[in-house]
Amino acid sequence: MRGALLLATIFLCASVLPIASAHDPPPDATGIIFSLSGDGGDFSLIRQEPSSASQGSRLINSGGSIDLGTWTTDPLTSPLVIENTEALVVVYALPVGIVIGAGMHISVRVMVDGEEIQSGDSETIILNEPLWTNIPWTSEEFDISAQAGQVIEINIAATIEGAGAARVQWGDETDSPSIFSLQNWYLDREESLVQSELTTELTAVFTTPWDCTDIDAVSFEIKGPVADHDIPWAEVAEPVSREVSGEDCTFTADLVGLDGIYLHRWQVLMSDGSLINRSGYFELEEMGGEDATQPFTTSLLGGVIGLTLITIPLIAQLFAIPISLAGVSSLREINVANTPKNNLLPLLALATIGLVTGLLTTPILALFTCIGLLAISWAIIDL
User: Considering the domain boundaries, does residue 17 fall inside one?
Assistant: no
User: Considering the domain boundaries, does residue 7 fall inside one?
Assistant: no
| 80 and 54 within one domain | yes
Dmax over Cα atoms in the chain, in whole Å?
152
User: Considering the domain boundaries, does residue 6 fall inside one?
Assistant: no
pLDDT confidence band for 90 (50 / 70 / 90): very high
User: Considering the domain boundaries, does residue 228 fall inside one?
Assistant: yes
- Helical pair 344-360 and 363-380, crossing angle rounded to 10 deg: 160
pLDDT at position 195 is 87
User: Considering the domain boundaries, does residue 16 fall inside one?
Assistant: no
More confident residue, 81 or 294: 81
pLDDT at position 325 is 41
| 203 and 176 within one domain | no
CB 308 within 8 A of CB 275: no
Q: Which of 4-8, 204-208, 221-225 has the lowest mean pLDDT?
A: 4-8
Q: What is the CATH number of the domain that holds 33?
A: 2.60.120.260
| 285 and 168 within one domain | no
Give the residue from 182, 200, 225 where a domain finishes: 182
Q: What is the pLDDT of residues 281-337, one digit of tens each?
A: 999 886 554 433 344 445 555 555 655 655 665 555 555 545 444 444 444 444 444
pLDDT at position 365 is 60
Q: How far apart are CA 318 and CA 65, in angstroms?
A: 115
Give the residue from 271, 290, 309 where a domain finishes: 290
Highest mean pLDDT among 143-157, 234-248, 315-329: 143-157
Q: How far apart are CA 197 and CA 349, in angstroms?
A: 41
Give mean pLDDT, residues 120-131: 92
User: Considering the domain boundaries, does residue 258 fall inside one?
Assistant: yes
**H or E element, residue 3:** helix 2-20
Per the structure, how many domains does the chain have? 3
Q: Which of 31-40, 170-179, 359-368 has the lowest mean pLDDT?
A: 359-368
| 203 and 100 within one domain | no
Nearest to 68 by CA among 178, 181, 174, 173: 178
| 163 and 51 within one domain | yes
More confident residue, 353 or 169: 169
Give mean pLDDT, residues 259-287: 91
- Helical pair 300-318 and 344-360, crossing angle rounded to 10 deg: 170
| 212 and 175 within one domain | no
Q: What residues pair up with 276 in beta bridges, in sequence order? A: 268
CB atoms near residue 13 (< 10 Å): 10
**Domain range holding 277?**
188-290
pLDDT confidence band for 173 (50 / 70 / 90): very high
| 158 and 236 within one domain | no
pLDDT at position 199 is 87
Give mean pLDDT, residues 24-46: 93
Q: What residues pair up with 267 in beta bridges, in sequence order? A: 219, 277
Give the residue from 182, 205, 239 where a domain finishes: 182
User: Considering the domain boundaries, does residue 13 fall inside one?
Assistant: no
| 152 and 115 within one domain | yes
Q: What is the CATH number of the domain that holds 276?
A: 2.60.40.10
| 165 and 207 within one domain | no
| 158 and 34 within one domain | yes
User: Considering the domain boundaries, does residue 4 fall inside one?
Assistant: no
| 196 and 118 within one domain | no
| 223 and 200 within one domain | yes
